C-alpha cells in the first residue's frame, strides 16, 4: 500500500510539472537591490514625475495670480507661467535660499493665495489634517490646492523630512473631505509602472505605453492626486 501511494504521488508530481500553468513554470529572477536609490532621478525622468507633471498640466489653468509651492517654484513657473503675478516658496529648512516663507504650513499668511502646489510633501507631515486646514486657510475663496502623494514607493533613508505614512486614494479622499467640499482624488499607476519605479528605472526605460492614462490600474496606486477648492463663505 505504501509503495502504491508513493507511486501515485510521483505520478501526480510528473503530471503537475507537465501541465502546470506557464506562470508556475517560470521562476522570475528579481534582484534584491534596486538599480537606483534615488527614485530613478540619476537615470532620467522618474516614473512618478510622469504622473505628477501630467496632473499639473491638466490643471494648469488653476495656476494664476499669487501662488505658493513647496521647496522650489519649478511647477508654478512651468505650468503657471505668465498667469502668475507672484510666486512664493515655502520651506521648513531655515537654510533654504529659495524660500520666501520659512516654516511649516502654519507660517502661510491667511487668505493670500490663488493656488498652492504641494507635491510629494503631505506624507512627511505628522499631522496632515492640521496641514490641510492650514492650507485651506491660506487660500483665498476660490483658491485651488493641488496635491500629490506617493502610494507604492520607496522611502528615502536619511531624508531630513522623513515619511510618516503612505496613502491610498480612499484614505486621501477621506482626509481631504474633512476640510474641503468635494475634493477630487485620483490614483495613477499599474503593476509594471510600480515595479519599475521601485527598482529605480526612469521613464525612457519603461516605455510611454505603460504610463498612459488608459493603463491606470486601481489595484496599483503608484501616485495619488488631489485637487481641492476653497469655497466662498
Per the structure, the count of domains in the chain is: 1
Predicted TM-score of the model (pTM)? 0.87
The reply to whether 213 falls in a domain is yes
- Structural domain for 123, as ranges: 34-229
Instruction: Give the whole-angstrom CA distance, residue 112 versus residue 138.
Output: 6
Q: Which residue, 225, 217, 121, is CA-closest to 172?
A: 225
Instruction: Give the whole-angstrom CA distance, residue 117 versus residue 78.
Output: 12
Predicted pLDDT of residue 11: 56
Strand order in the sheet with 65-70: 101-102, 84-91, 65-70, 113-119, 139-150, 223-229, 184-188
Taking residues 107-134, what's their average pLDDT? 97
Ramachandran sector of residue 207 (left: φ over 0; alpha: ψ -120 to 50; beta: rest): left
pLDDT above 60 (res 108): yes
Overall residue count recorded for the chain in this entry = 233
The residue that leads in pLDDT, 28 or 164, is 164
The reply to whether 135 falls in a domain is yes
The reply to whether 66 falls in a domain is yes
Quickly count: other Cβ atoms within 10 Å of residue 178's Cβ. 10
Taking residues 191-214, what's their average pLDDT? 91
Q: Tell me, what CATH number does 86's domain have?
A: 3.40.50.150
Residues 6+ apart with CB under 8 A from 58: none
Phi/psi at 106 (5° precision):
-65, -20
pLDDT above 80 (res 23): no
Taking residues 180-192, what's their average pLDDT? 97
Tens digit of pLDDT for each residue in 63-86? Answer: 999 999 999 999 999 999 999 999
The reply to whether 199 falls in a domain is yes
Amino acid at each position: 500500500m505504501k509503495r502504491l501511494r508513493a507511486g501515485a504521488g510521483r505520478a501526480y508530481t510528473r503530471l503537475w510539472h507537465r501541465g502546470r500553468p506557464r506562470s508556475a513554470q517560470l521562476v522570475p529572477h528579481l534582484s534584491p537591490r534596486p538599480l537606483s536609490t534615488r527614485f530613478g532621478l540619476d537615470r532620467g525622468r522618474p516614473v512618478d514625475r510622469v504622473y505628477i507633471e501630467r496632473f499639473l498640466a491638466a490643471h494648469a489653468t488653476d495656476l494664476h495670480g499669487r501662488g505658493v509651492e513647496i521647496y522650489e517654484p519649478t511647477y508654478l513657473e512651468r505650468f503657471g507661467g505668465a498667469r502668475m503675478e507672484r510666486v512664493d516658496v515655502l520651506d521648513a529648512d531655515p537654510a533654504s535660499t529659495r524660500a520666501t516663507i520659512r516654516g511649516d504650513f502654519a507660517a502661510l499668511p491667511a487668505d493670500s493665495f490663488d493656488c498652492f502646489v504641494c507635491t510629494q510633501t503631505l506624507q512627511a507631515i505628522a499631522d496632515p489634517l492640521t496641514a490641510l486646514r492650514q492650507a485651506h486657510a491660506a487660500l483665498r475663496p476660490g483658491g485651488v490646492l493641488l496635491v500629490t502623494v506617493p502610494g507604492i514607493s520607496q522611502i528615502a533613508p536619511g531624508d531630513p523630512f522623513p515619511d510618516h505614512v503612505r496613502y491610498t486614494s480612499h484614505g486621501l479622499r477621506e482626509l481631504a473631505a474633512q476640510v474641503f467640499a468635494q475634493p477630487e482624488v485620483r490614483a495613477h499607476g499599474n503593476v509594471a509602472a510600480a515595479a519599475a519605479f521601485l527598482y529605480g528605472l526612469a521613464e525612457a526605460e519603461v516605455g510611454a505605453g505603460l504610463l498612459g492614462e488608459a493603463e491606470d490600474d486601481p489595484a496599483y496606486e503608484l501616485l495619488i492626486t488631489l485637487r481641492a477648492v476653497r469655497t466662498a463663505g
